[in-house]
Amino acid sequence: MANIIFDGKSVIITGGSSGLGEGMVNSFGEVGAKGIIFDQKPPSVLKNGWIFIDCDVTDEDSVKEAFERIPQNFKPVDFLIANAGIVPSWASIADTTTEAWDKVMAVNGRGLFLTLKYGSPHLRCPGGSIVVTASINAWKGDANIVPYVASKHAALGIVRSAAMDLGKLGIRVNAIGPGPIATEALLSRIEERGKNSQLSVDSALELLSKQTALGRLATIEDVANVTLFLCSDLARGVTGQIVNVDAGLL
């Protein structure tokens, strides 16, 4: 992103090995940041100046240990991107199992809480920034996905409360609200749903695009660029907010 340079800055990105997280790793690396990926699987390629730490965000000991393993040359951490999250299979509320509910809440709810709990003490203060990957479902509902919607509503609540807790230390906390993004995960879900509806992936993406003001889907790069902005000094007056990245789902 123009006018943003993070030379010498350090960032931790949870869920950084694939999807939106991988895009964020690439974007932060392009503007000079060095970083750490927290994930349960290593990335296919590890960028120069970046390291990988195995971390299960649902497990308190794993999260605590991961932050304790941050090398000294990354401290204090400038940016924490709490991106790890999962989306369940489609199911009506009547057909949603408690196991599915608990799994989504464990990652998207407890995992986010643990990331902020153990990550925030390692942030630069003043001057640190946290960005949480929420969703447009942090403020709107959708059918057949109640655990996800509930977890993202919870994520926005965590962001707003954490912004008040950490603001006194000079740490900003914001969220991004991606709409549909053509990640591998979304494409595979569309393909699975299409087995019942007979709707092709291309047709489904076209329908989604027509629902936006821009007539296209937002991209992984779009989401990463807004994340860069929220971490930068350009957004130093912004905290406790969610910024939608949805190409205009109005």
* pLDDT on residue 178: 96
* pLDDT on residue 1: 46
* pLDDT on residue 158: 98
* pLDDT on residue 200: 80
Question: Quick check: 81 and 24 in contact, CB under 8 A?
Answer: yes
* 3-class SS string, 39-86: ECCCCCCCCCCEEEEECCCCCHHHHHHHHHCCCHHHCCECEEEECCCC
CA distance 11 to 250: 32
What are the pLDDT digits (tens) for 80-95?
A: 999 999 999 889 999 9
* pLDDT on residue 164: 98
* pLDDT on residue 246: 96
Active site residues: 148
Closest CA to 134 of 168, 173, 164: 173
The tokens of 202 are what? Answer: 């291309």
* pLDDT on residue 226: 98
Question: Quick check: 90 and 145 in contact, CB under 8 A?
Answer: yes
Closest CA to 23 of 33, 13, 36: 13
**How confident is the chain (250 residues) per 10-residue block, as mean pLDDT?**
86 97 97 97 93 98 98 98 94 96 98 98 98 97 94 98 98 96 75 68 84 94 97 98 94
* pLDDT on residue 162: 98
Question: What residues does 10 pair with on adjacent strands?
Answer: 34
Q: Can you give the pTM of this predicted structure?
A: 0.94
Please name each of the domains of the chain with its CATH number: 10-245 (3.40.50.720)
